[in-house]
Structure 1
Amino acid sequence: MEIFLYELVGHDVTRPFSPHCWKARMALRHKGLEYTSLPVPFTKVRHVEDGFDRTVPVLRHGKDVVQDSFAIAEYLETTYPDRPSLFGGEGGRAMARFVESWSHVHIRSFVVSAALMDIYSLLDEVDKEHFRRTREAFFGMRLEDVVNRDPARLDEFSRSLEPMRLTLKRQPFLNGKSSGFADYIVFGLFQWLRITSSVRPLAPDDSVSEWFERCLDLFDGEGRKITAA
């Protein structure tokens, strides 16, 4: 049964950049599943699957339509129990939920502050208008004023990753000896930054950078198929 994954793109439809879509991509590859990527710009998201939802990723598998990267991972885990597990049980699922919340606070906020205008520059004109209008309403300020690349901000971000570094001293992946969905949650955010922006906040020999390189190599280099900005 064919699988379709709707993914967010800018004017270059070959460069999906959404962190949530990358979580779903990596989950599909972890399960060893083939899929067809369907690129969707911002202003077309509301038309996906006849208005099924207003965010992507959305996965179509036969009659099933699933939205939200975590829900997609749970769906794949239930639908394909005999393939490699994304969570390794309920404890791993709960841990992934914690990682999702932690990374939203500490990593997503940094990527937004560093790369918002870079993301804006990747869009078609109609999507730029939509992006500026909706994001400025959300932030209550101009996009340009959201961006913060002050060295002190970079240092603060680096310090916030210390829990990851301590974990990666003991094991190669957040999930343990092998990668799991907890890794793909964090990977998606760093991949978002890698694809959209030239900002590189960590040194190559940082253990988090080394972890990210290992994740880029997973599944025949799935993450490297899209070149860095």
Structure 2
Amino acid sequence: MSRILFDLALADEAVRPSPYCWTVKFALLHKGLQFETKTVPFADKSKYPDPKYGLVPVLVDNDEMVKDSAAIALWLDRKYPQNPLVATKSERAAADFYAAWLAASVYPALRPYLTIRVHAAAADADKPYFRATRESRFGVTLEELAASCRPENVESALAVLAAPLTHHRYLGGAAPNLCDYLVIGPFMWQRAVTTSDFYKTPEPVAQWRERMLDLYGGYGRGAKSAEAA
């Protein structure tokens, strides 16, 4: 059986910054499915399984290609119903909430600090593309974006997690589910460029993150950071 997840890499190919790819990797591990990753650069779209699409994650499972982390999660539960990522409609609704919350608060709060550091750690061939596309998307230079970093914005966003994680080991309850794999994504994005927090992490969130890093034989904890590259 061939199951390949296409994943972004920085100058050191062992450093994988994509939070959405990390969500899929944790989902595959949750399912107990073997897979390999194949790295692609930011700029050279000819290296992608679908050059016209030109994004990751893309999962190729034998002769099936599935694009986008949300679509991959849904497909995995249909294709491999064992160990569901979301077992009920309520869990699906919770996952939809966390996805929307991340997009509205956590990613924007982390972006000023992390984007310029991902650029610094990217391969030289990728840096012009990375800079041009991000500056076009955000309407400011990477340096101006970095100057807008406010740790308190991250702290405010993460405070939302403190309440459920005070009472439960995981966002999924007693065991992790898709909610946890969505939320660990931006933490792994951060971990790709720094293993230190630039904000104060609520203690229940910090403890949850440690549990997540230890899952599946410490898969997340073993992720390489550009700090060590």
Distance in 2 between the 1:96 and 1:207 partners? 19
Match of residue 221 from structure 1: 218
Match of residue 22 from structure 2: 22
- Matched residue of 2:188: which SS? helix
Distance in 1 between the 2:166 and 2:123 partners? 43
Match of residue 110 from structure 1: 109
Match of residue 168 from structure 2: 171
Distance in 2 between the 1:134 and 1:159 partners? 28
**Number of aligned residues:** 226
| Segment drifting more, 181-190 vs 196-205 | 196-205
How much is the aligned-residue C-alpha RMSD, in angstroms?
A: 1.7
Letter matched to residue 101 of structure 1: A
Give identity over the alignment, percent.
31
Match of residue 2 from structure 1: 2
> Which of 178, 181, 187 pairs up with 1:184?
181
Deviations 1:201-221 (A, max 9, x none): 344772111111110001111
- Matched residue of 1:39: which SS? strand
Are 1:133 and 2:98 matched, yes or no?
A: no
Q: Which has the higher contact order (CA 8 A, sep 6+)?
A: 2
Matches within 5 A, 1:32-51: 32-45=32-45, 47-51=47-51
Contact 1:45–1:56 at 8 Å: present in 2 too?
Answer: no
Match of residue 160 from structure 1: 157
Deviations 1:8-50 (A, max 9, x none): 1111111211000000100000000110100111013454124
Provide structure 2 residue ranges, at least 5 long, that are not aligned to the other structure. Answer: none
Distance in 2 between the 1:102 and 1:205 partners? 17
Match of residue 76 from structure 2: 76
Deviations 1:102-160 (A, max 9, x none): 0111111122111111100111122000011111111222110001475xx21232122
Cα gap change, 1:69 to 1:106, in 2 (>3 Å): same
| Segment drifting more, 47-56 vs 25-34 | 47-56
Distance in 1 between the 2:166 and 2:28 partners? 28
State TM-score, norm by structure 1.
Answer: 0.92
| 4+ runs deviating over 4 angstroms | 202-205
Aligned-residue offset at 1:67: 0.6
| Segment drifting more, 197-206 vs 121-130 | 197-206
Distance in 1 between the 2:201 and 2:154 partners? 16
Contact 2:9–2:40 at 8 Å: present in 1 too?
Answer: yes
Cα gap change, 1:113 to 1:42, in 2 (>3 Å): same
Aligned-residue offset at 1:223: 0.2
Distance in 1 between the 2:162 and 2:174 partners? 15
- Matched residue of 2:38: which SS? strand
Distance in 1 between the 2:44 and 2:88 partners? 36
Letter matched to residue 36 of structure 1: E
Distance in 2 between the 1:115 and 1:198 partners? 12
Distance in 2 between the 1:45 and 1:35 partners? 22
| Segment drifting more, 141-150 vs 129-138 | 141-150
| Segment drifting more, 204-213 vs 6-15 | 204-213
Deviations 1:34-76 (A, max 9, x none): 1010011101345412425221010000111001111111111
State TM-score, norm by structure 2.
Answer: 0.92
Contact 2:3–2:34 at 8 Å: present in 1 too?
Answer: yes
Distance in 2 between the 1:11 and 1:201 partners? 23
